[in-house]
Structure 1
Amino acid sequence: MDIWSLNLRHLHAIERIAHLGTVSGAARAVNLSQPAITQGLGRLEDLLGVPLFERRHDGMIPTAAGHILSPRIAAALTHINSPHVTMSRMRAMLAVAETGSYTSASALTGLAAPSIHRAISDLSLALRRTLVTRRGKFAMTNEAGRQLAREFRLAQVELEAGLSEVMALRGHETRRIAIGAMPLSRARILPAAVARFLARRPQVRLTIVEGSRAELIEPLRSGVIDVMVGALRMPLAEADLVQRPLFADVPAFYARYDHPLAGQAPTAAELARFPFTLAPRGTPLRDGFEGYFSESGLPLPAVPVESGSVMMIRQVLMGTDFITLLSPDQVAVEVEAGWLRSLAPLPDQFARSIGMTTRASLLPTQVQSEFFADLEAAAGACGAE
């Protein structure tokens, strides 16, 4: 169901009915008439095909669908945080933020460009702040506009999740999970979790977006993806995110199978004589590399090639005397094939924590909770091997 056909004030009223138990109380809370609320509630129940409340002589009791939808509406309203926002204004703001022009926003939404421009202008006037700046044919969101678009996107996510959960009650499985996959997660834990999950939930659509943390962090914070799996950051810099550790990973130094140091259990000084190809600065692997050599009292080895791609690193190693630092899971296939070999493990104090990162405000849907449990189960199974 398209959320943009809904009325935000009617949704607010439904949330208030669930909280207060009466239409009259909701009418006072949202400044709408009781007939308007009753009509809006009836229209939404018709669209959903399920009742949201059980009508009793002494009030309104939420049904199973009502219990699902009302907290989602409350969460969306928390992100919107203004009585001046309407669905049309929210949609226009999101479209302009995504496309960067009124013309492109019109093509994306099917709305007339003047209508989108008017909605943005009305929103700016109501909120008393500039949100979009015209630059020729482009409409660029400023910092306030980008922050508002992020909150609107999270509100959209909450409403869509609520509606899909209600539709699932009717047997219409329309739910989806968007997963941000950092390099290590793609080796074992994420494929194992996906296999476990789909064995039970084949109807749920999974979207896996691959990238580094730097590439995935903003889509996670904006609600484009639901969870990010990979190396955790300690401490976590983003206050709107939370992390859940799954297992500890101890990286090792790897090189081509016939490297000069092969089979020698090399010391830090011997490793430092060779060039490295590594993940970029600021990643846990790079931090472990720098900490290991610094604690050994050695200058950092040269790193002529930086890459977050295991495939690229593998190809560099196979044709040179370069060394890298990676998780054993990331190069298990290459080691088994006899292309690469481990030279020495990184000391345990440089182990990194692998886990999942989500928004602090996330209210997991049923299928999201199940998938998170499958990630934990897959991590436990990998750790037991």
Structure 2
Amino acid sequence: MDIWSLNLRHLHAVERIARLGTVNAGASAVNLSQPAITQALGRLEASLGLPLFERRHDGMIPTHAGEILAARIAAALAHVRSPHVTMSRMRAMLSVAETGSYAGASQSTGLSVPSIHRAVADLSLALRRSLVTRRGKIAITTEAGNLLARDFRLAQVELEAGLSEIEALRGHETRRIAIGAMPLSRARILPAAVARFLARRPQVRLTIVEGSRAELVEPLRGGALDVMVGALRDPLIEPDLVQHPLFDDVPAFYARHGHPLAGTAPAPSDMARFPFTLAPKGTPLRESFERYFTDLGLELPDVPVESGSVMMIRQVLMGTDFIAVLSPDQVSVEIEAGWLRPIARLPDRFARTIGMTTRASLLPTEVQTEFFDDLAAAARECGEGQN
């Protein structure tokens, strides 16, 4: 079922009926008649294929499907925050923000250009904010428009989650989890969690997007990702995100197996004489590298090769006398194969916390909660394997 076929006003009424127990309460909340809400509720239940309420002489009792959908509607309305928003206006605003033009929005939605233009203009007038400015054929969302589009995307995510959960109740698994994978999650923790999860939930679709935190944080905030896994930040600067620790990671210095410093317990000054290959500036590993040498009063070693790819760093290390600062999990396979070896460990004060980052507003679905539990279990098992 497409969420854009739904009526936001009717959904608001459903949420109020679930909360207050009567059709009359729902009708009053959205300023419609009781018969109109009764008919709308009947049509919605027919479309979903499940009853949302038990009709009793003393009121309306939400079914399990009703509880699920009501919670998602409440979460969506918390992002919408205005009675002037309709599904058509929300869809038009989102499509213009995503495509950058009214023509592109028309093509992506199948709606006419005049209807999209009118919906965005009506929304702008109702909210008393400039949402889109035009430069020729290009439609540029203002700062207010960008913030509104983000809220609308999050509302869309909640409603789609509600519909997919109801589909699952009917035996049709349509649920998906979108995961942002930062470098420190890809070697062992995330693959182990995915394997555990899919052993129980083979029908759930997982989308894994790899990238740095800078590349993943906005998709997470905007609803394109459900969770981001990797090194946590202290302090966390985004007020709409929350962090969930999984385990602590202590990086180490690595080099090829036949490196001149291998097996010598090198002093920091010994390592500083060699070139390094490291992640770019601003990343946690690079910051640990710089702080380690500056705290000792040493000049920073030369870094001729910068890369965020562990595969690239591995190849550089194997063919040269370069040194790298990496997480043990990132090179566990290379260590087992005898290609690389640790030559020194960073002090414990350089430990970083690896964990999950989610939106503060996230209301996890059943399968999301299971996946988060699997991440925690995988973190514990990998931690035990290192001890």
TM-score (norm 2): 0.97
Alpha-carbon distance in structure 2 between the residues aligned to 1:302 and 1:113: 56
2:139 alignment partner in structure 1 = 139
Alpha-carbon distance in structure 2 between the residues aligned to 1:302 and 1:127: 55
Which residue identity is paired with 1:302? D
Alpha-carbon distance in structure 1 between the residues aligned to 2:133 and 2:173: 41
Alpha-carbon distance in structure 2 between the residues aligned to 1:314 and 1:233: 26
* SS of alignment partner, residue 358 of structure 1: strand
Of 231-240 and 280-289, more deviation after overlay is shown by: 280-289
Identity of aligned residues (%): 80
1:101 aligned onto 2:96: no
1:271 aligned onto 2:271: yes
1:32, CA displacement in angstroms?
1.0
1:336, CA displacement in angstroms?
2.5
1:300 alignment partner in structure 2 = 300
Alpha-carbon distance in structure 1 between the residues aligned to 2:271 and 2:133: 53
2:239 alignment partner in structure 1 = 239
Alpha-carbon distance in structure 2 between the residues aligned to 1:66 and 1:173: 18
Alpha-carbon distance in structure 2 between the residues aligned to 1:137 and 1:304: 45
Which residue identity is paired with 2:13? A
1:195 aligned onto 2:195: yes
1:27 alignment partner in structure 2 = 27
1:285 alignment partner in structure 2 = 285
Q: Which runs of 5+ in 2 are unaligned?
A: none
* SS of alignment partner, residue 254 of structure 1: strand
2:381 alignment partner in structure 1 = 381
Q: Which runs of 5+ in 1 are unaligned?
A: none
* SS of alignment partner, residue 248 of structure 2: strand
- CA distances 1:174-198 after superposition (whole Å, capped 9, x unpaired): 1111110111111001110000000
Which residue identity is paired with 2:225? I
Alpha-carbon distance in structure 2 between the residues aligned to 1:117 and 1:322: 58
1:105, CA displacement in angstroms?
1.3
* SS of alignment partner, residue 111 of structure 2: coil
* SS of alignment partner, residue 370 of structure 2: helix
The aligned length equals: 385
1:299, CA displacement in angstroms?
2.1
Alpha-carbon distance in structure 1 between the residues aligned to 2:165 and 2:16: 20
Which residue identity is paired with 1:214? A
1:339, CA displacement in angstroms?
2.4
* SS of alignment partner, residue 282 of structure 2: coil
* SS of alignment partner, residue 313 of structure 2: helix
2:253 alignment partner in structure 1 = 253
Alpha-carbon distance in structure 2 between the residues aligned to 1:306 and 1:235: 25
1:37 alignment partner in structure 2 = 37
1:3, CA displacement in angstroms?
0.1
Of 177-186 and 292-301, more deviation after overlay is shown by: 292-301
* SS of alignment partner, residue 83 of structure 1: coil
1:160, CA displacement in angstroms?
0.6
1:57 aligned onto 2:43: no
- CA distances 1:19-70 after superposition (whole Å, capped 9, x unpaired): 1111112211211111111111111100111110111111111111111110
1:68 alignment partner in structure 2 = 68
Alpha-carbon distance in structure 2 between the residues aligned to 1:323 and 1:80: 51
1:212 alignment partner in structure 2 = 212
* SS of alignment partner, residue 228 of structure 2: strand
1:305, CA displacement in angstroms?
2.2
2:86 alignment partner in structure 1 = 86
Alpha-carbon distance in structure 2 between the residues aligned to 1:314 and 1:298: 26
* SS of alignment partner, residue 281 of structure 2: coil
Alpha-carbon distance in structure 1 between the residues aligned to 2:306 and 2:107: 40
1:342, CA displacement in angstroms?
1.3
1:302, CA displacement in angstroms?
2.2
1:363 alignment partner in structure 2 = 363
* SS of alignment partner, residue 28 of structure 1: helix
Alpha-carbon distance in structure 2 between the residues aligned to 1:114 and 1:317: 59
- CA distances 1:202-247 after superposition (whole Å, capped 9, x unpaired): 1101111111100100010011010000111111111100111111
Alpha-carbon distance in structure 2 between the residues aligned to 1:154 and 1:196: 28
* SS of alignment partner, residue 179 of structure 2: strand
Alpha-carbon distance in structure 2 between the residues aligned to 1:145 and 1:33: 33
Alpha-carbon distance in structure 2 between the residues aligned to 1:310 and 1:113: 47
Of 108-117 and 355-364, more deviation after overlay is shown by: 108-117
Of 137-146 and 328-337, more deviation after overlay is shown by: 328-337
Which residue identity is paired with 1:205? R
1:315, CA displacement in angstroms?
2.1
1:319, CA displacement in angstroms?
2.8
Alpha-carbon distance in structure 1 between the residues aligned to 2:367 and 2:95: 28
* SS of alignment partner, residue 76 of structure 2: helix
- CA distances 1:120-169 after superposition (whole Å, capped 9, x unpaired): 11111111111111122211112111111110000000001111111111
2:14 alignment partner in structure 1 = 14
Alpha-carbon distance in structure 2 between the residues aligned to 1:61 and 1:335: 59
Of 301-310 and 230-239, more deviation after overlay is shown by: 301-310
Cα RMSD for the two superposed structures: 1.1
Which residue identity is paired with 1:374? D
Alpha-carbon distance in structure 2 between the residues aligned to 1:378 and 1:202: 18
- CA distances 1:305-346 after superposition (whole Å, capped 9, x unpaired): 221111121222223322110011111222233322211111
2:168 alignment partner in structure 1 = 168
Alpha-carbon distance in structure 2 between the residues aligned to 1:25 and 1:334: 64
1:114 alignment partner in structure 2 = 114
* SS of alignment partner, residue 55 of structure 1: strand
* SS of alignment partner, residue 187 of structure 1: coil
1:351 aligned onto 2:340: no
